[in-house]
């Protein structure tokens, strides 16, 4: 039998054993398993925030169009179709934003009269130089995260705000 000096590896002793490979794979699986729920929650949070920011930008464009072009703009919000659209009477401005899945429009305020179908398409008119209508759009993700997009009639600007998480 040959003796080896420190640092020299015999040809038959190179490589990784199966046990070492299984231990490394187990550690990697544990790290991934522990970090996945927080990463998934972060992605859902980003999705709902992105959707609400896009709705704010969409509403801001429609309000700006009414003011700058001196045209009446109709804003239509459909809970059933999960979409928002805006258009002018002459159709020179006609835009639609479909809220991406898994985010859903859950409600539109002001509330309808009691007994009215909540799935009907809601329509709001924006008049040039007039007060912006107070519109509130509630959004929800499949895991219960909620956001609300509100058009403030005093300032005439839309904004997005967090709602308390559903239990």
pLDDT at 34: 87
Pairwise pLDDT comparison (115 vs 45), residue with the higher score = 45
Residue 41 belongs to some domain of the structure: yes
Residue 13 belongs to some domain of the structure: no
Residue 60 belongs to some domain of the structure: yes
Binning pLDDT at 50, 70 and 90, where does residue 167 land?
A: very low
Report how many domains make up the chain. Answer: 1
Helices (H), 15-158: 18-69
Residue 56 belongs to some domain of the structure: yes
**Residue 82, Ramachandran bin (φ over 0: left; ψ between -120 and 50: alpha; else beta):** left
pLDDT in tens, 37-56: 777 777 888 889 999 999 99
Q: At 132, which CATH number?
A: 3.55.40.10
Kindly give, in sequence order, each residue whose CB lies less than 8 Å from that of residue 1, ignoring residues fewer than 6 positions away: none
Binning pLDDT at 50, 70 and 90, where does residue 36 land?
A: confident
Residue 61 belongs to some domain of the structure: yes
Residue 32 belongs to some domain of the structure: yes
Residue 13 has pLDDT above 70, yes or no: no
What is the domain range of residue 133? 19-162
Residue 10 belongs to some domain of the structure: no
Cβ contact 37:45 at 8 Å: no
Give the CA-trace dihedral at 59, 147, 107, 133, to 10 degrees: -30
Note if the pTM is more than 0.85.
no
Residue 5 has pLDDT above 80, yes or no: no
Binning pLDDT at 50, 70 and 90, where does residue 128 land?
A: very high
């Amino acid at each position: 039998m040959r003796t080896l000096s420190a640092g020299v590896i015999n040809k038959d002793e190179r490589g990784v054993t199966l046990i070492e490979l299984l231990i490394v794979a187990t550690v990697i699986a544990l790290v991934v398993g522990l970090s996945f729920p927080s990463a998934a929650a972060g992605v859902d949070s980003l999705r709902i925030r992105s959707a609400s920011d896009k709705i704010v930008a969409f509403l801001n464009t429609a309000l700006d169009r009414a003011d700058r072009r001196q045209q009446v703009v109709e804003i239509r919000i459909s809970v059933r179709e999960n979409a928002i659209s805006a258009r002018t009477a002459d159709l020179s401005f006609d835009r639609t934003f479909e809220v991406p899945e898994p985010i859903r429009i859950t409600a539109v305020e002001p509330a309808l009269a009691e007994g009215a179908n909540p799935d009907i398409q809601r329509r709001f008119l924006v008049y040039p130089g007039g007060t912006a209508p107070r519109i509130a759009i509630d959004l929800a993700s499949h895991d219960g995260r909620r956001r609300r997009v509100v058009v403030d009639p005093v300032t005439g600007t839309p904004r997005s705000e967090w709602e308390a998480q559903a239990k």
